[in-house]
Structure 1
Amino acid sequence: MLDGQVALVTGAGGGIGRGIALGFAAAGAAVAVHFRTNEGAARDVVARITGSGGRAVALRADLTVESECHRVVREAADWGGGTLTALVNNAGVQPVQELPGMTAADWRAVVDTNVSSVFACTQAAAEVMRGPGGGLVRSITHIASVEATHPAPLHAHYCASKAAVVMHARAAALEYGPHGIRVNTVSPGLIDREGLAQAWPEGVRRWREAAPTGRLGRPQDVADACVFLASPMASWITGHDLVVDGGVSARPTW
């Protein structure tokens, strides 16, 4: 589905980002695997892609710094021969903290990572995509969360940041659409990871009971949604939030 595409996936060293990078590669894209600190994990993703006959490169950047966002996008495009057709803004943090004791610095740490980096990377990617080497299929996808519309205790800064990400995508879809660039969000529910059931057994149990599908999500579930949105099959989809939560959002709350 993505043959000939060049994609940059931020925060691609582990978890959801790793799944997205592998999903894009499996669909035929060349993938720039961004990381901030965990170089070993990023290079492991690259090794898995290249070992399967794909193309990948690991790129380091601190996305809380605007200039670093622009640099890593340019490096990805240069590596892709001057072409960047897809960006997945996945990098983010999800700290747990009570709102009454939260400081402005705590708030900014989440917003800078989850929102400001999305703004800067999107702006940089769109500039490349608007150029002659942008390619025919051009898409930007932000990883948001079901918590953008369903807040959870101790996640006030995270919920607010993901709500901002959803609205940013809708606004960007309006302004970049005339240039042939589509912008969407994918909002995952609870995605399984190693040790989650042991660390949060009650939460996992509640989620499984609430989900019509009866299970937690997998990174591949999110990857599949992102691959679809980056593919020609989604050529008339922009400004949309694709919820990937196993149906939990459809459950009545009363």
Structure 2
Amino acid sequence: MSDESLRDETLPLLSGRVALVTGGSGLLGAGIAWRFAQAGAAVVVHFHRGDKGARELVQRITDRGGDALAVPADLTDEADCHHLVEEAHAWRGRLDSLVNNAGVQPVQDLAGMTAAEWREVNEANVHSAFCCTQAAAGWMRDQEGGGSVTHIASIEGSHPAAGHAHYSASKAALIMFARSAALEYGPLGIRVNSVSPGLIDRPGLADAWPEGVARWTAAAPLTRLGRPEDVGSACVFLASDAASWITGTDLVVDGGVGARPTW
């Protein structure tokens, strides 16, 4: 075990709880899963093709005394979604938190977009969240303490960008799906929310898109891009007892860029 401490005392304590993060092998998903581990939760890291990234993250968590498991699934397949959730529940006998992070973000102008491209994005971003949420609620409703579901949406769910008609529409759908699910699952003790990140930094982004990064940092009151851990912290909060009376809301994590006047 490493001498480096895993637990971050600035986060709410989630000891004894189990969290499932879909798309956990990617940069954002890994950041979310890592923050849940730092909060003391046992973490199921879902992956589709990112086997190496998921297993490296699990190793990183367990080396520091945490508890983590990597599980593969194709979330465009309804049966695979249910199997993933079932495995996550069976691992430690409960499932307290689901973060629907898996998704895609291609760029395609609307005039040239095919129906197949439209469906592909919505299946990856919305269909997967629907199936996993429905499956998770089936377990959460029967356990003490209920559970929490968080969809990773985007500020593009309310502020579209050119070339992202399919992506923006899918994120808007996730925000409304969270509110609808909160309405129906609330009486069962299940809270459902969404988190809408702004621009999240990644290796090479400043070199690949310098003008975009410069515009963002100039527009954001906090003068920086987001980090995966910023989104993870928001998800941990929503999954914690500190958010026990919060459901059906969209938590915007964008460094304040949404407060910038557009006129």
Residues 137 and 230 in structure 1, CA contact (< 8 A), matched pair in contact too: no
Task: Determine the structure 2 residue equivalent to 1:112.
Answer: 123
The one of 9, 15, 26 aligned to 1:14: 26
Q: Distance in 2 between matches of 1:11 and 1:77?
A: 17
Q: 1:123-138 to 2 correspondence within 5 Å?
A: 123-131=134-142, 134-136=143-145, 138=147
| 2:255 aligns with one of 231, 239, 246 | 246
State the 1:137 CA deviation.
Answer: 5.2
CA distance in 2, matches of 1:225, 1:244: 8
45, 54, 65: which is aligned to 1:33? Answer: 45
Runs of 4+ in 1 over 4 A off after TM superposition: none
What is the identity, as a one-letter code, of the residue corresponding to 1:90? N
Q: Write the deviation string for residues 178-203 of structure 1: whole angstroms up to 9, x where unpaired.
A: 00000000000000000111111111
Counterpart of 2:10 in structure 1 is none
Match of 1:139 in 2: 148
* Counterpart position of 1:235: 244
SS of the counterpart of 2:98?
strand
Structure 1: state its 5+ residue gaps: none
RMSD of the alignment, in Å? 0.6
Tell whether the 8 Å contact from 1:137 to 1:232 is kept in structure 2 after alignment: no
Residue identity in the other structure for 2:223:
G
- Quote the Cα distance in structure 2 between the aligned partners of 1:47 and 1:99: 42
Q: Distance in 2 between matches of 1:190 and 1:199?
A: 14
Displacement of 1:244: 0.1
1:77 to 89, 93, 96: 89
Supply the distance in 2 between the matched residues of 1:63 and 1:3 (Cα, whole angstroms). 28
Q: Unmatched 5+ residue regions in structure 2? A: 1-12
Aligned residues: 251
2:166 to 157, 172, 175: 157
Q: CA deviation at 1:136?
A: 1.2
State the Cα distance separating 1:103 from its structure 2 match. Answer: 0.6
What is the percent sequence identity of the aligned residues?
67
